Amino acid sequence: MRVFLSYRRGDVGGYAGRLADALHERIGARNLFQDVRAIAPGQDYAAVIDRALDDSDVLLAVIGPGWLTAATPQGAPRLFAGDDYVRLEIARALDRGVRVVPVLVGGASLPAAADLPEQLRRLAQRQAVVLHDETWHQDVDGLLLALRGEPAAPAGRRRGLAVLAVAVPLVALGAGAWVLWGPGGGDGTGGTSGGEGADEEAGIASCAPPVGDGWRDIQLSADPTGGEQVEGGSLHFAVEATRWRPQGTAWHVVLATTMEAALPSGAYHGDWRYDSLVVGRRSFAPTCFSPSPEFVDPETVGEALVGFDVTCEPAGYIQLRLENDADRIDVTEPTLEPGSC
């Protein structure tokens, strides 16, 4: 799911920044468009915005108390000006069939259709979402659940599911057997094309458990763990097991990982948490991903299978880079030489 953030800086600059941080944490930077982060100096901002709208699944129109009353230097309503970027963004999204959600902050109310330019009057018919200061993170979580078409489960029920997932061992190694949780099922090919196993929101396939013929274990390092600091706390990651097998002229590598959400708001466990796998001094982006659960409650642990198609032999030193490139995990011992490539 790709989100376009539309807002008026003079109205909700602070709220927009806070919402952008919260969305970045939950859906990843590559799935969020915010002008101050996505438009580089010298770029044609109109062209960048136009392309971003075409690539977006939803536009969040952040509306504060001054959204409707903002004025030009001449005193005219800014929203009625032909070059008002907020008006242009929302109108283009409505015309192109992009889902538009009014997000009310700072005690604002949804404007009436009669108070809006003709191009935007459809906005008044959209169901709005209110973000309260005192329940900010819960409200953002509820917004994302609604966008994904999921019911807002009670916090106690989500925590119970997460604890149950931790109670069942992620990996059981015995007599050479590899038993992994994973929604992919199938024959363990770890295919990375779309179809029934595709994760539509992440844009990559779901990982099938690496079981069956041809799979080989990778000896993990003494400390295959890492972490990153996020708003309000930290996330702790660990690689529990790793397997690979040949795939044509390349190799498919699957990591069984865990993520602990050491922060009061919990966190989404998405493929964006895993930037790349470094094999033979080359980086490879994830090609399949299966989390359980998708949202990890505060102080609980989530599991995932993360797959990579690599063109370098998965031997020697292997490194897993997390979302923040500075945070890395030694999958195998760092004293090893990288594999051939």
Do 54 and 185 belong to one domain? no
Indicate if the pLDDT at residue 62 is higher than 90.
yes
pLDDT value, residue 43: 60
Domain range for 271: 161-330
Name which of 30-34, 255-259, 307-311 the model is least confident about: 30-34
Indicate if the pLDDT at residue 320 is higher than 50.
yes
In a domain, 336, yes or no: no
Average pLDDT in the 156-184 region?
34
Q: Which two tokens stand for residue 254?
A: 């699957």
Do 174 and 284 belong to one domain? yes
pLDDT value, residue 73: 83
Q: Out of 85, 117, 147, pick the residue that ends a domain.
A: 147
Do 94 and 130 belong to one domain? yes
Q: Which H or E run includes 36?
A: helix 35-38
Do 283 and 165 belong to one domain? yes
If one compares 192 and 152, the residue with the highest pLDDT of the two is 152
Taking a C-beta distance cutoff of 8 angstroms, is the pair 302, 291 a contact?
Answer: yes
Q: Which H or E run includes 1?
A: none
pLDDT tens digit string along 231-247?
A: 678 899 999 999 999 98
In a domain, 340, yes or no: no
For 239-260, letters b (16+ CB in 10 Å) and e give: bbbbbbbebeeebbbbbbbbbb
Q: What is the number of structural domains in the chain?
A: 2
Find the CATH number of the domain harbouring 142: 3.40.50.10140
Indicate if the pLDDT at residue 42 is higher than 90.
no
User: In a 10 Å sphere around its CB, with 0-12 CB exposed, 13-18 middle and 19+ buried, how is residue 164 labelled?
Assistant: exposed
In a domain, 252, yes or no: yes
The packing angle between helices 9-27 and 136-147, to 10°, is 70
Average pLDDT, the chain: 80
pTM over 0.95: no
Task: Give the integer Cα–Cα distance in Å for 139 and 64.
Answer: 16
Do 18 and 124 belong to one domain? yes
In a domain, 199, yes or no: yes
In a domain, 339, yes or no: no
- Percent pLDDT > 90 in the chain is 41
If one compares 198 and 143, the residue with the highest pLDDT of the two is 143
